[in-house]
Structure 1
Amino acid sequence: MYTIKWQKRGLPQSHNLIWLHDKIYPTDIDKIIQAEFPNPQNDPELYNIVVKNMIHGPCGPLNLNAPCMSDGKCTKKYPKPYLDDTKTEDDGYPKYRRRSPKNGGFTAKIRLQGRDELEIDNQWVVPYNYFPKCSKHT
C-alpha cells in the first residue's frame, strides 16, 4: 500500500506500508538505518555529510527559540537517550543505537548562529539511511 504526495517544490514523496512475514531484528535495522556519527577516520565523507545535514537543532536549553520548541520542550523529543543497541518496541517503532562518547560514540563540533563552537554527540543525530556499498553518499 502506498500514497504519493507532491511537495511544495513539485517533488514527489512516497509513503509506503510494508508487511513483513518474518520479524525484523535490530541487527537488520542497523544495516540500513543509523542514528550515530560514523567513524570519521573510516568514512570522513559520510561523517561530514552527517555533521552538515543530519543534526537536529540543537534545541532545548541550547536554543529555546528553535522551531521545534513548544512549552519549553522539543516536540521531536531531542536530545534522544543513549542506547548501546537498537531495540524494537511493541508499538513497531525502533529505538536506534546512539552510543555515548564513553561507549564508543563519536562527537562533532558545530557552530550555532552567533555563538562559539559546540561539541555535540549522537543524541542530536537524525536517523539516516546508510548504504555502505554506494560509491558516493550524496
Structure 2
Amino acid sequence: MIYVVEYQKWGLPHAHFLVILKPNSKIRCPADFDKFVSAEIPSLASPHLRKIVLQHMMHGPCAQLNPDCACMKRRGNEGHCKYGYPKKFADKTTNSSDGESVCIRRVNMDNRSVIPYNLYLSSLFDCHLNVEVCSTIMAVKYLYKYVYKGHDRISFNVVQDGSTAIVDEIQEYQAGRWVSPCEAAWRIFGFDLLEMSPSVLPLQIHLTNLQTIQVIPHENLDEIISNDKRSRTQLT
C-alpha cells in the first residue's frame, strides 16, 4: 500500500493510493470488475446513492450538446472529448483489445427517465473517487509514475515591457513554488504526506571491499581501514 498526499492549485488536499492485493484477492476478469466498479447510475431503489452519483460523478454535457466544454478544447483534437465521452452502451463488462476494461452500461428506463442518455458517468472527470483496475504493465507503470510526479512545475522569467535586450535565460531563471495555507498548516503540524507499507529501502550494491567510504580530511587512513565499523555497509 502506498499513498501520497498532494495539494491542488486551489489548496485542497487529495491522496493518491496504490493498493496491491494478495494473489487470491486480485481482480482478474470482467466478472470481478463488476464486484468493485460500477459505471451505471444507481437505481431508484437507492435514492440517496443515486442523488450523490448524479450530483458529483457525472461528466458533461459535451460533444454536440456543448462544443464549448473544457474537455473539447484539446489542441490538435478539437471537437472530440479528451476523456472519450460519450461512452458507448454495453450489455456486459468486457476487456478491450488494448487491455482496458469496458464497463457495463445498460440502456434501461431507470437511467433514461431522469437524465438524457448522452450524460455519462465519469471515472476521470469531476468526481471524488477514481478507482482503476490495472490489467496491463503500462497501466501499472503509469500509476507509479503519477503518484511520484511531485508538484506542478513551470519555467518562467520576468522581463520589462517593451524590452528588446537579449534574454539571458541563465541569469533570469526563476524557481518558485506555491504553498497554500492548507498545505502550510499540514506541514507545520507535521502530518504525514506519504506512507509506504512495507517500507522499501535502497541498498548500496558493491563488490567485496569495494564499498564507498566517506573520509574527513583530518582523519588517519590507517585508523579508518582498521576500524571494523567503517567497513560495514547496508549490504554486508
Same fold (TM over 0.5): yes
RMSD, aligned α-carbons: 2.8
What letter corresponds to residue 107 of structure 1 in structure 2? R
The size of the alignment, in residue pairs, is 118
Secondary structure at 1:74's aligned position in 2?
coil
Match of 1:96 in 2: 103
Distance 2:29 2:36 in 1: 12
Q: Which residue of 1 aligns with 2:87?
A: 80
TM-score by length of 1: 0.69
TM-score (norm 2): 0.43
Give the residue type in structure 2 aligned to 1:61.
Answer: Q
- Rounded to whole Å, the distance in 2 between the matches of 1:105 and 1:26 is 23
Match for residue 112 of structure 2? 107
Q: Which has the larger radius of gyration?
A: 2
- 1:25 deviates by 2.0
When residues 27 and 96 of structure 1 are mapped into structure 2, their CA distance, relative to the original with a 3 A threshold, is same
| Residues 1:124 and 2:124 are matched in the alignment | no
Q: In the superposition, relative to structure 1, how do residues 123 and 29 fare at CA in structure 2: closer, same or farther (>3 Å)?
A: farther
Distance of 2:130 and 2:14 partners within structure 1: 18
**1:19-34 → structure 2 map (5 Å cutoff):** 21=23, 24-34=28-38
Q: Provide structure 2 residue ranges, at least 5 long, that are not aligned to the other structure.
A: 124-128, 132-236
Residues 54-109 of structure 1 deviation map (CA, whole Å, 9 limit, x = unaligned): 110110111011010031110001000111111134544211100123xx662254
Which segments of 5 or more consecutive residues in structure 1 lack a partner in the other structure?
A: 110-118, 131-138
Percent identity reads: 30
Distance in 2 (CA, whole Å) between partners of 1:87 and 1:124 is 18
The change in CA–CA distance for 1:11 and 1:29 in structure 2 (over 3 A counts) is same
Cα gap change, 1:122/1:33 in structure 2, threshold over 3 Å: closer, same or farther? farther
Aligned-partner Cα distance in 1 for 2:37–2:12: 27
Deviation, structure 1 residue 121: 2.9
CA contact (8 A) 1:6 1:13 kept: yes
**Bigger share in strand:** 1
Structure 1, 13-22 or 47-56: larger mean CA deviation: 13-22
Question: In structure 2, what is the Cα distance between the partners aligned to 1:89 and 1:17?
Answer: 23
2: CA distance, partners of 1:86 / 1:105: 19
2:20 to 15, 18, 21: 18
Aligned residue in 2 for 1:60: 63
Deviation of 1:31 after TM superposition, in Å, equals 1.4
Q: Which has the higher contact order (CA 8 A, sep 6+)?
A: 1
How far, CA to CA, are the matches of 1:126 and 1:88 in structure 2?
A: 18
1:49–1:126 distance in 2 versus 1, CA, 3 Å? same
Distance 1:105 1:24, change over 3 A: farther
